[in-house]
Each structure stands twice: as C-alpha cells, then as structure tokens.
Chains A and B, each alone.
Chain A
C-alpha cells in the first residue's frame, strides 16, 4: 500500500507530493489506484512521468566516459543536467569539439559550465525538471524540433518588425508597427540608457524597393530578402529566412543570440508567420495585441523567480495588451525568462489599425542590408498552384484625399462621377467616396462609371469612417449619418449650391456653387498646380 492514495487528492496537491516518491513499485500501485478510481488523465500522466523519471535513473551512463558521437544533442543535454563537476564538463566539451563539434551541443555544455561558475554552488529552491528530462522517451517536443533550445542568459538586442507587403507595397499595419516600434525603442533607449535598434524585415519578390520607406517610417536598419519564388507568402521559406536573419546569420552588426523583441502584423499571413517563427525561436507569442509598452515588471510567480515567496523585478519587459471576449476585457501578456530557460524574443502580433500611421520622414537615415543567401529547393516543395484574389472591397481609409459626391450630381449623375474622378486623378493618393443618398438613388449611370456606385464607397454611419488630410464633399448636404464618417478629416472643403446646407457648419472651406462648374475649375487649377490659389478664389468665407 503506497503512502499516498492519489484518489484522495487533488491534482494540485499531488504534484508536489509525488516528487518525493522514489519507489517504482509504489508509483505503479498509485497508478493502478488512480486507474481503478476516477482515472483522471492528468493524474495518470503525472504518475507516469514520475515513474519514467524514477525508472530512467537506473540506465544512466557515466558522463565522463559516454561516447558523445553516439548521442544526440538532447541526450547530451540530459546527461549533463546532473553533472555538477566543472572539470567533467570541460572534458565533455573538449571531446565534443574533437568529435562532432555540434554548435548546439557545445552551447549546452558551455552554458552549464557558466551556470556552475556563476552560481558557485548556490542552490535554487524550486526543483527544476527540464522538459527533456521529464519526457526522456519523447524525442521531440514538437514535430519539427529535436529539442527545445534551453538558452539561459543569452544576449538579446533590438526590436525586429516584420513588414508585410501586398502587391509590392507595404500594407498599412506595417507602417503602423514601424511607427510604434520607433516610439517604443526611443523611450527604451532613454530609459535604459541603451542604443538598440528598430530592425525592419522585408521578405518577398522585389521588396528591395521598399527599404527606403521602412527607414522613413522609423526603422534604423532594414534587412531584406528578395527572390522571385517568394512572390506569395509560403510558410517554410518565410519562417526559415526570418529565423536565419535574426538568429543564425553571421553579420558583424548582429552580435547577439536572438532579437529582444519581435513584432508581427495580426493579418492572415502575419499570424501564421508569427507563430512559426516564435516556435522556432523557442519563445512565446502574444497574438492579436492592440497595445504595447515596455517597462519593468515585478513578478512573484516562483516558476519565474525560482524562489517561492520572492518578488523579482524583471527589466525591459514588453507589455502586450490584447482584447478578450470580443473586447469586453483586456489582458496584458508578459513573456518572461525562467530560471533555466530564456523566453526571448518577446513576441507579439498586432491588430491592424491599433496604432497611428506615423508621419513619414523621407530624410531619415539608416542602414539597408540584403540577406543574400541561397534558398534550398526543398523549402519550396509546397507550391502555390492556384489562388483567388479575394474581393477585398474598397478601402477608403488611409488616403490623403477623398473626393466625395452626393445627390447634388442628380442632374447628370454620370458626368458628376466623371468630374469627381477627374479631380481624384489630380492627387497622388486619393479615392472617390459617396454619400448613401447616391448609392440608393435610381440614377442611371453609364457603364464606365457604374462600377463606382457600390456601398463599398459609402462614407458615414453605415459605411466607412475616413480621416484624410483633405475631404472634398460635393453636392452632399451633411446629414449627421454622413458627418460621423468624415468629420475627423483635417480639412473639409464643401461644394454646395445651398448656403444653408448643414455641411457648411463643419467645413473649413465652403464653395457656393454648382458642382458641375466648380469641380472642373478645381481640376484645372490643380493641373496647373495652383490648388491653394484656386481654392482661395472659390471660397465664400468660413
């Protein structure tokens, strides 16, 4: 009869107790009792783990004599866990160097040596069982990985930002992340008196064209990898490239083990990549975050501090806020090192639109580095044979200028749209918006403009909300349901023949007149590059 009857205890109670049971026989009995009782799966696992551990001890090899070439890195890691003699370890290290000379194996041994030197025999109070030891028969914690890299006290620097592109352009969230990263790292460098960088990562076909833009939005260094095979996002090569860039790549400026922080967009592709990369780098991931800040954190969880009842301050912690329950609650996720294992990079994926797009500073300087390595053909085994371009609809947000048309075009709807489009064409970054009044009208549009008359271009309460630098509203009365979709625009210019139209109340410039005459005049003035003057001539007052 064993001392502990597992069926009488909670799992929480059993955990600590079972660690003191060393007798295989007793454990077998406990296992039988639990199976005969409630048969709780976690309890069974717990006992079995302990059994394996206890049972496994018998077969241990003598570290000073083991044939390292016969052992995997995990075997070696296991073996040296219990070796506390620095001399023995040095001997093992030498033998590994003389033998297979595996980087992973050496770092394991070196780390152990370092620990012993530093600790100087000091004992941690929480018993630590590394995963490799806990599951010696499991040769792979995950499918792809032979072992978890148990880096301890590694060197980490910089914030790496994965900048996603679509059709050869940065998507907005990439700009948003760069802006946020800049802000975070500026504060970080001040607070901690450091000089760490924001590193933008570009992977794709022809992404070299975008490096300047990344610098302009806040990166200190842009690392990019171009290859025509990378035209579409693919799991294997993208993950491998990212990890090689930030962990394995031997370049003089990257004098650290892994990034301190990584930030990805929480887009479809960004979510995939973030999970794969963070997994490969043996760290965690806070997905779908909407807020980020860096500060110290006081933690008293013994799993992190190593000592129950002790509160320890962890420095430079990225606080990652994410909405739960559809945004009714927020959690702040921290990714913190454990006594025997580092959790770096501290990684987050970020919901698009969470941060402002910063003002681009084209004159900002920085370094651009091409990651020019060969990509093995087997990374491309998965081929994209076919794809559908999802009809993403029209996104009117993020433009510098919106020209919006209302029912004022009623006298000649087709011409009205044409005039609006002509004006749109005069700006570098502009698009056409509509009031709901136009979309629900019975106007007959000619074929070539008909495609524009869709709810996707509706601005307002039940349409899109835009805040461009310039919003030109022509023939729109300014109903409150329209107003809520545009009144945060920097400059609002209204063209309306009715001086009592509500829109005048919230416009910066009001042009009284027939849009069929005013719009062409504005277009002409812009062609001649005299918009400001044309505007001044047109406006009545306000």
Chain B
C-alpha cells in the first residue's frame, strides 16, 4: 500500500472536531492561547444535531465555565435560569414532591436552561470570530470520518467533504458515538449498561402562560424531575424545564433497561406528558415543536480514565464525561471544562517544547482539577459490586415493602428528602430498579397525596413526530450486519423513531419465508433516523454518522 506523504495535506496547529460545548470551549481556549485552530462540524449549523435536556451548570469548583470563555453567554445563548428544583415521586395518581434546591445549588455558581440550536449556533459564531484571528475558523457541513495516520501515528483527520488535514493536536469533541474515539480504539459501543437514552419534546408555550402557570417572572425559571411508577418499571426518570417561550419535557433511561423491557421510548415520554400531574402546567394545551433523542454516556462506567492517544485528545461526551448525579444530569459543563483543560494542556506542552506530551498533561489535569472525581466517584466504584447484585436489592426491596420499612419511610420522610440532597448519597445511588422505581414509588405511595386533575392532552403519534422533523436524506449511514431478530430485534422497540407494528420507523420487524421455515428478521430504513446512537449499541450494525449537512436537522435541540 502506498501512502500519500502527509506533508502534502493542509496543516493546522489544532483541529477541533465538533462544535458542541466541548468543542466550542476547546477552540475558544486554544484561540485565546493564539493557537491556529480549525473547527469542523458536521451539522448544517452548529446545534442542528444536538439535544440536551437543557440545564447547563457553571460549577464553582470548575476551572472553566462557559461564561469564563464566552462572557456574554447567559445574555445571548440561554433561556431562563433554573432557580427552583423539585423531584416528584409518583405512584399512580399519588405524588410526593421533594425540594432538591440544596443539591441543585450545591457548588453551583449559576444554572440556566438552554435550547441547543440557539446555544450552539451562537457559540459557533463566537468561535468562528476567535479562531479566524488565529488563521483558522469554523466550518459546518463537514463530517470527519476517521483519523489520518502516518506510520501508525495519528497525524490528522480525514473527512467526507474535504481532503485530509494534518494537525499538531486533534481535539475530538464529537459527542456521544464519537467516531474518532472508536477509530482510536479508546471507546466501543458495545455495552448498553454504559449508556442512557434521552428523549425530549420541546413544547410551545407563551411566555406569559409560563410565568403564570409556574408562578415565575420573565427572568425566572424552574426545573422539575419525575420518578416512580409512571415508566412501566424502566429505570430512569423525567424532566421538565422552563425556556423563554417553550418547555423542555424529556425522559432519560438506562439503555440496558430500555432494551430489557422492550420499552418504546416515545411511549415512555407520552406517559410523562399525559400524567395528571402535568395538567397544572399544560392545562389541556399541547403543541409539540420538536421531538428529539440522543444517547448519553454514563460517566460512572464510560468515562475514559486516559482519554487520549498520541495527538488525539477526547473531550466531553466523546470521552464519556457525562455525569448523572442521581437525577441531576451534568454533561455540558464537564465538556466545557474538559475542552478548556485540553487547550491548556496543549499550550503548556508546547511551551515546554514537547507538544506530544499534551495528552498526558490533559489526563493529569482532569485528575488534579477534580473532574475525574466527579465523573467516576470512588464511592460508586466501591459500592457497585454489592448494591447492584440482585441479592442486596432484593433484600432492600423486601424491607421497603414490609410494614417496618413503610413505617420507617413515614417517620423519616424528611430524612429521605435530605438524603436526596446529599451529593455523597447521590453519588452512591446504585443503578437498580430499586433506586429509580421502587423507592420513588414507595415514597409516592406512602407519603404522597393524590392528584385530582385530569390531563387529556394528546401528544402526536410517532409518524407525526417524524413528519414534523426536517431531514435532508442521503444514502443509508447505518448498515445492519445481522438482521436476525435475535441480534438486532431490540432496535425495533429501543429506536426512538421505531415501534413494534409501525411500518414508518427505522427498524421494522418482519417475517420472511426461508426454505420451508419462517424467520423473524428486521429491516432498516435510515430516512427517519435521528442519529441517536441507540442501535449502534443494541443492534448488530455498522454505524456511522451521515455526511456533512445530511440527515436530521433539529431546529430546537
């Protein structure tokens, strides 16, 4: 095989792949250091591919916050502050609400709700301006499809749309399902346990209605979380955040639980949307602006302890740096911190005359700045083998259902609320059905009061949700390697835009006649795909992102 000499390619000092919060932070910090930086983003616009529930935190303990790097951020790119924070423990109609303000405000300088299209595209504009001055810039509609290597060493990136580009440092901030992390052999997409799946609806609502229904002013906002038995035993919870003139209502579940329960993600979302508790806010009106979904790494299991290889540094979701602190989801802030640290590490390594040392320095910084401690708490590592074994949860389960347990709950209701508000306790919560379902349900049952309201809104059907999305369809970007139902059938239910007995989704279950016998198989049409990444993990596929500018385009995010 002959290799094109890499010195014939265009060269930048730094290439940043992805213009989410991680990439934007890395690029801004690099540009601040005067490093010539090129940013490549596959969306038609930054943010057009991105989804989050929507609360971005600025932590007091963090070395970099988004407004450190982009001083006008809150003014220009966010929706409302999240001043109040509640969790609702649901058992049927019974609901017990805890105030989680303590944990929410713990170590929090500020926290705002965001919509990603608006946020990321604003960031991208700033980044473009900053990186232009270093001789680089930001390009959208470009998908990086792999690493460029020379003699086995990573020296740059290859793209669908451009000739290969070499760089002294490559920051992979390409989010969850990072093709670069996979190419480098740093991440795989095998274990459903390592991921959550998030699904979200952005719901149109007049600002005055929001103020009135939530009892807030224009410059105020609230966050509500939901747990308990409204999700058919699937481990996870719901969220509702106020935006300027919309609500973000979503659900986040453990992917292994979605897979096991053969749960339909859009139905889980609908269970939340139609719960009587939500009537106080929706009041019979429901207009969905956008339906969206994405995988979320669980840093406790997925955060890579050494997220670099040669010139390549992984940042944010690409490195699994997404912290689910109990019900609190912190991904964007850690991506920002990691982006800042990666830039800092490169700058220092370069100053010491050894830029190739950037990766090691970055790893050190993640430790010394306390980031890794938040992402992979030692407490969790110690407690997991015990508390996640069936025996222990079975025991605790039994306890909770016994009269003694119930009495205890009643007596110690206040204590439970306090325990929820302890970052130490939350870091220890095991990922079992017990913590997500049984305990909140019991709390709701025992401590809760029934909701009397009726919620008769009708969320759109899946085909309508798909029909409302904007697509620029291209050739299939996912290939099913084994289409037997055993290997890939889980995707029929787990894919957020597919469902059993629904012909209009990506994955469909079919029966084919094979010499004599019958076989259950799946077929795939990638046109409705929202690129969430689920089937990369739960099905036997060859999974890639579509080329630059192709595929789904989120307008809200």
Within the complex, the shortest CB–CB distance from A288 to chain B, in Å, comes to 27
Q: How far is the CA of A441 from the CA of B523 in the complex (A)?
A: 5
Within 8 A of A (CB), among B435-474: 463, 467, 473
Q: Check B463 against A442 for contact (C-beta < 8 Å).
A: no
Residue of B nearest to A439 (CB): B525
Q: Check A477 against B504 for contact (C-beta < 8 Å).
A: yes
Within the complex, the shortest CB–CB distance from A188 to chain B, in Å, comes to 45
Contact of B521 among A437, A440, A442, A481 (CB under 8 A): A442
Which A residues are in CB contact (< 8 Å) with B483?
442
A301 at the interface (CB under 8 A from B): no
B512 at the interface (CB under 8 A from A): yes
Within 8 A of B (CB), among A390-441: 406-407, 410, 436-437, 440-441
Q: Check B513 against A442 for contact (C-beta < 8 Å).
A: no
Q: How far is the CA of A68 from the CA of B514 in the complex (A)?
A: 89
Which A residues are in CB contact (< 8 Å) with B508?
407, 437, 441
For chain B, the count of residues having a C-beta within 8 Å of the partner chain is: 18
A479 at the interface (CB under 8 A from B): yes
Q: Check B512 against A442 for contact (C-beta < 8 Å).
A: yes
Contact of A442 among B473, B522, B527 (CB under 8 A): B522
Q: How far is the CA of A440 from the CA of B503 in the complex (A)?
A: 10
Residue of B nearest to A436 (CB): B525
Q: How far is the CA of A381 from the CA of B473 in the complex (A)?
A: 48
Within 8 A of B (CB), among A470-487: 477, 479-481
Contact of A437 among B503, B511, B522 (CB under 8 A): B503
B260 at the interface (CB under 8 A from A): no
A443 at the interface (CB under 8 A from B): yes
Question: Quick one: given A442-B521, A462-B473, A480-B463, are A437 and B504 in contact (CB under 8 Å)?
Answer: yes
Residue of B nearest to A480 (CB): B467
Residue of A nearest to B464 (CB): A480
Q: How far is the CA of A440 from the CA of B467 in the complex (A)?
A: 18
Contact with A along B475-489 (1 / 0, CB 8 A): 000000001000000
Contact of B510 among A436, A442, A462, A477 (CB under 8 A): A442
Question: Quick one: given A436-B527, A437-B504, are A444 and B512 in contact (CB under 8 Å)?
Answer: yes
Q: How far is the CA of A444 from the CA of B521 in the complex (A)?
A: 11
Q: Check B467 against A481 for contact (C-beta < 8 Å).
A: yes
B524 at the interface (CB under 8 A from A): yes
Q: How far is the CA of A225 from the CA of B525 in the complex (A)?
A: 51
Question: Quick one: given A440-B524, A462-B527, are A479 and B510 in contact (CB under 8 Å)?
Answer: no
Within the complex, the shortest CB–CB distance from B469 to chain A, in Å, comes to 11
Which B residues are in CB contact (< 8 Å) with A441?
508, 510, 523
Contact with B along A3-17 (1 / 0, CB 8 A): 000000000000000
Within 8 A of A (CB), among B481-523: 483, 503-504, 508, 510-514, 521-523
Within the complex, the shortest CB–CB distance from B513 to chain A, in Å, comes to 6
Which A residues are in CB contact (< 8 Å) with B523?
440-443
For chain A, the count of residues having a C-beta within 8 Å of the partner chain is: 16
Q: How far is the CA of A390 from the CA of B508 in the complex (A)?
A: 35
Q: How far is the CA of A406 from the CA of B525 in the complex (A)?
A: 14
Residue of B nearest to A411 (CB): B511
Q: How far is the CA of A440 from the CA of B476 in the complex (A)?
A: 11
Which B residues are in CB contact (< 8 Å) with A436?
525, 527
Q: How far is the CA of A407 from the CA of B503 in the complex (A)?
A: 7
Which B residues are in CB contact (< 8 Å) with A410?
510-511
Which A residues are in CB contact (< 8 Å) with B463?
477, 479-480, 502
Q: Check A443 against B467 for contact (C-beta < 8 Å).
A: no
Within the complex, the shortest CB–CB distance from A328 to chain B, in Å, comes to 19
Within the complex, the shortest CB–CB distance from B470 to chain A, in Å, comes to 12
Within the complex, the shortest CB–CB distance from B457 to chain A, in Å, comes to 20
Within the complex, the shortest CB–CB distance from A302 to chain B, in Å, comes to 49
Within the complex, the shortest CB–CB distance from A230 to chain B, in Å, comes to 42
Q: How far is the CA of A54 from the CA of B115 in the complex (A)?
A: 77
Within 8 A of B (CB), among A351-394: none
Which A residues are in CB contact (< 8 Å) with B511?
410
Within the complex, the shortest CB–CB distance from B495 to chain A, in Å, comes to 14
Within the complex, the shortest CB–CB distance from A17 to chain B, in Å, comes to 50
Within 8 A of B (CB), among A439-485: 440-444, 462, 477, 479-481
Q: How far is the CA of A300 from the CA of B511 in the complex (A)?
A: 74
Contact of A479 among B467, B473, B512, B513 (CB under 8 A): B467
Q: How far is the CA of A444 from the CA of B516 in the complex (A)?
A: 13
Within the complex, the shortest CB–CB distance from B464 to chain A, in Å, comes to 8
Which B residues are in CB contact (< 8 Å) with A462?
473, 527
Residue of B nearest to A440 (CB): B525
Contact of A444 among B504, B513, B527 (CB under 8 A): B513
Within the complex, the shortest CB–CB distance from A464 to chain B, in Å, comes to 15
Residue of B nearest to A476 (CB): B503
Which B residues are in CB contact (< 8 Å) with A443?
510, 512, 523
Q: How far is the CA of A479 from the CA of B522 in the complex (A)?
A: 20
Which B residues are in CB contact (< 8 Å) with A502?
463
Within the complex, the shortest CB–CB distance from A412 to chain B, in Å, comes to 8
Most chain A C-beta atoms within 10 Å of own C-beta, residue among B467, B503, B514: B503
Q: How far is the CA of A480 from the CA of B523 in the complex (A)?
A: 21
Within the complex, the shortest CB–CB distance from A496 to chain B, in Å, comes to 12
Q: How far is the CA of A442 from the CA of B513 in the complex (A)?
A: 11
Contact of B503 among A442, A444, A477, A480 (CB under 8 A): A477
Which A residues are in CB contact (< 8 Å) with B512?
442-444
Within the complex, the shortest CB–CB distance from B252 to chain A, in Å, comes to 29
Within the complex, the shortest CB–CB distance from B404 to chain A, in Å, comes to 51
Residue of A nearest to B523 (CB): A442
Residue of B nearest to A475 (CB): B503
Within the complex, the shortest CB–CB distance from B420 to chain A, in Å, comes to 44
Within 8 A of B (CB), among A113-128: none
Can you sample 8 A-B contacts with CB below 8 Å? A407-B503, A436-B527, A441-B508, A441-B510, A442-B483, A442-B522, A444-B513, A480-B463
In the complex, besides A441-B523, A443-B510, 17 extra interface pairs with C-beta distance below 8 angstroms are A407-B503, A436-B525, A436-B527, A437-B503, A437-B508, A437-B525, A440-B524, A441-B508, A441-B510, A442-B510, A442-B522, A443-B512, A444-B512, A444-B514, A477-B463, A477-B504, A481-B467
- Give the top 7 A-B pairs by smallest Cβ distance, nearest first: A440-B525, A442-B523, A480-B467, A407-B503, A441-B523, A437-B503, A442-B521
